[in-house]
Amino acid sequence: MGESTPSIRRDDTPQGGSVVATGDWTAASLTAVAAWKPLRDALSASPKGGAPETWDLRGITRLDHVGAQLLWNHWGRRWPAKLEAEAPQRAVLKHVEQYSVEQPAEQRPSWKSHYLALGARLMLLVDHLKDLVRLVGQLFLDLLKLARAPHEGPWRDVSGHLYHIGATAMPITALVGFLIGVVLAYLTSQQLRQFGADAFIVDILGLSLIRELGPVLAAVLIAGRSGSAITAQIGVMRVTEELDAMRVMGIPHGFRLVMPRAMALAVAMPLITVWTTLAALMGGMLAADLSLGITPNFFFTALPKAVEFSNLALALSKSVVFGVLIALIGCHYGLRVEPNTESLGQGTTASVVTSITVVILVDALFAVVFKGVGV
């Protein structure tokens, strides 16, 4: 190795042991593979900063902040008991000492910290629930205001949201519904064929798609597609200070932002549910014809007998509730966004996850409460 290669050696002197550093202690020299491994081994074998040995740095030809930081970390972030160094070298070391961040000692979390963290999460949940209840109450007040003065309502906003939430979502919901129907029919046909109960595929597909899968599938797709868009739109208004401008001008957020979206989703969700269910039934009918030989004519004849109208009424009722909940959750997280992009991303993600979770929980509640309806 050349003279510029950083190295360490130990010398014995009449005054005691001495650690002598030589070479170039710079970023360029320290990153060389041939130089770093022997230097690392030599540092591991050399004494720390609190040892009585003398550290002699006068043999170092060049020292930058990378080399000084390496020495400072090896010394345990304190000066050696005895140090021989030139004035420029001491200046670099003092600069590193001044701006080095002290690494906190790693501590295992105690039961108290877990308890406090749980309390903080519960308080955050309570805060979210309070804001959501306040948002629901404000929505009812805004609807009463709209009923008293319909001509002052934001109907243009409602129609715009109906188009963006409902009409533009028809292709993706139809595609996903059709594929779900095909998969469900194929899996069901494999089992029904074993017992010779091919005709019951109409009952299974009709009841499962109309009563449960259609509304839930449509709600999950709308929550991921439109719920996130609602949060992002209102969140961007927070970042660009449009919400503050609306407050200054006396424009209520609930009447102009929350209510139009809730009304649009309450109207669009039942229509999207029917559209998705029809696409799923078409896919199931096609798969049943190919796998079991169940003709479309038989499918259309047996479906009204297998599924009562109350199941469709229950599905549409659930869809209205799903739509309002998705709109409220999207607006809730949008209004809570802080004026920075990181909070906007976190709010959008939380909105989608919460909407889908709430949809599944409410669907389970409907299934328990209305278990005797239409079955």
Does the residue 116 lie in any domain?
A: no
Q: What is the mean pLDDT of the chain?
A: 85
91 and 149 both lie in a single domain: no
Which of the two residues, 220 and 340, has the higher pLDDT score? 220
Q: Are residues 71 and 146 in the same domain?
A: no
Residue 270 in this model has a pLDDT that exceeds 90: yes
pLDDT at 25 over 90: no
Show which of 99, 126, 158 is a domain's final residue.
Answer: 99
Is the residue at 192 inside a domain? yes
* Total count of domains within the chain: 2
Task: Please state whether beta strands 7-13 and 16-25 pair in parallel, antiparallel, or not at all (unpaired).
Answer: antiparallel
Beta-bridge partner residues of 17: 12
In a domain, 336, yes or no: yes
* pLDDT above 90: residue 276: yes
Q: CB neighbours (10 Å) of residue 114?
A: 10
User: What is the structure's pLDDT at 332?
Assistant: 92
Question: Could you list the residue range(s) of the whole structural domain that residue 228 is in?
Answer: 138-369
- The alpha carbons of the chain give a radius of gyration, in whole angstroms, of 35
Q: Helix (H, G, I), strand (E, B), or coil: what is residue 9? A: strand
pLDDT digits (tens, 9 = 90+) for 28-77: 877 775 677 777 777 777 776 556 677 888 888 888 888 888 887 877 77
CATH code, 35: 3.30.750
DSSP 338: -
Q: Do 94 and 144 sit in the same domain of this protein? A: no
Is 112 a domain residue? no
- The answer to which of 33-37, 53-57, 254-258, 308-312 has the lowest mean pLDDT is 33-37
Give the end of a domain, one of 99, 124, 159.
99
CA atoms within 13 A on the CB side of 38: 10
What is the predicted pLDDT for the residue at 76?
76
- The percent of residues above 90 in pLDDT, for the chain, comes to 34
DSSP state, residue 77: S
Q: What is the pLDDT of residues 313-361, one digit of tens each?
A: 999 999 999 999 999 999 999 998 888 888 888 999 999 999 999 999 9
Distance CA 281, CA 208 (A): 10
Q: Is residue 127 part of a domain?
A: no
pLDDT at 104: 56
**Helical pair 341-369 and 214-222, crossing angle rounded to 10 deg:** 170
Specify the pLDDT at position 102.
Answer: 60
Q: Give the pLDDT band (50/70/90) at residue 374.
A: low
Residues 144 and 84 in one domain: no
Residue 101's pLDDT is 62
Closest CA to 209 of 182, 169, 190: 182
Q: Which tens digit of pLDDT belongs to each residue from 2-24?
A: 557 888 787 776 666 778 888 88
145 & 63 share domain: no
Q: 34 and 154 in one domain?
A: no
pLDDT band for position 141 (cuts 50, 70, 90) = very high
Round to whole Å and give the CA distance between 231 and 237: 10
Q: What is the mean pLDDT of residues 159-168?
A: 91
Is 54 inside any structural domain? yes
Tens of pLDDT, residues 83-105 = 888 888 888 888 888 877 665 55
